[in-house]
Amino acid sequence: MKDLYKQIILASASPRRKELMQKHGFNFTIEPSGAAEGDSPEDCVKTAIANAKLKALDISKKHPNSVVLGADTIVVLDGKLFGKPKDLRGAKEMLNALQGRTHSVFTAIAIVLKSENILEAAAAESRVSFKKMDLKGIENYLQKVNVLDKAGAYAAQEFGELIIEKIDGDFENVMGLPCDLLKNELDRIFGSFKIFLK
């Protein structure tokens, strides 16, 4: 196994993904991708996978001998895709639509090693049930959390108890990086995820 393979380039500026990679002891660097994300509600999982691949492929062009990880998280309710809100008004509208309901959070990951023609992707789903909230409750949450860079206008790990009733599935998936899925994929592709640990 080449030494370069032992480090992952995370093609994301997300502080949540960085935090999770550090928590699990991965040896990684960060190089955010500037690839434009697609936004197709027809098949939300395919959209997330396509976006994750775009990000990973964008960075792998510059680093063909390195393992690159791309990720994309989307929030879906009744077939409607909830991306990052453009402003606080949009954030209020999103949270109002999600309150009192159960929605899906999909995070897709893509692993690319260009020199070996490796391009693999997978996605995880978690179900998130929101508490019933009035406008005052929504505004209270928005005063505490910067949601403009978060799909669905919320962060489960930041004052999540104010808005979330329960989560069925992987909490880390809701945060933006399902590390159990990542480890399984690295095991499958490279034989062991442990070669990527510090």
pLDDT, tens digit, for every residue of 69-82?
999 999 999 988 89
Q: pTM for the whole thing?
A: 0.92
3-state secondary structure 47-92: HHHHHHHHHHHHHHCCCCCCEEEEEEEEEEECCEEECCCCCHHHHH
Instruction: Compute the C-alpha angle 180/186/190, nearest 5°.
Output: 155
pLDDT at 94 exceeding the cut of 60: yes
Identify whether the C-beta of residue 96 lies closer than 8 Å to the C-beta of residue 135.
Answer: yes
- The span from the CA of 188 to the CA of 72, in Å, is 21
pLDDT band, very low/low/confident/very high, at 34 (cuts 50, 70, 90): confident
Retrieve residue 114's tokens. Answer: 């260009």
For residue 72, indicate whether it is catalytic.
Answer: yes
pLDDT band, very low/low/confident/very high, at 45 (cuts 50, 70, 90): confident
Residue 191 neighbours by CB under 8 Å, 6+ apart: none
Ranges of each domain in the chain: 3-196
For residue 105, what are the β-bridge partners? 75, 126
> Which residue is associated with the tokens 């962060």?
155
Which residue is catalytic, options 39, 58, 72, 78?
Answer: 72
Mean pLDDT of all residues belonging to the chain: 93
What is the reported pLDDT for 36? 74
Amino acid making up residue 80: K
Pairing state between β 28-30 and 8-10? parallel
Least-confidence region, from 2-6, 44-48, 144-148: 2-6
Q: At what angle do helices 135-144 and 88-98 cross, to 10 degrees?
A: 130
pLDDT at 1 exceeding the cut of 70: no
Identify whether the C-beta of residue 118 lies closer than 8 Å to the C-beta of residue 68.
Answer: no
Q: Which of the following CATH numbers is that of domain 3-196: 3.30.565.10, 3.90.950.10, 2.20.70.10, 3.30.380.10?
A: 3.90.950.10
Amino acid making up residue 128: V
Residue 73's CB is within 10 A of a number of other CB atoms, namely 28
> Which residue is associated with the tokens 């990679």?
21
Instruction: Give the residue among 17, 12, 8 at the shortest CA–CA distance from 173.
Output: 17
**Cα 106 to the chain's mean position, in Å?**
8
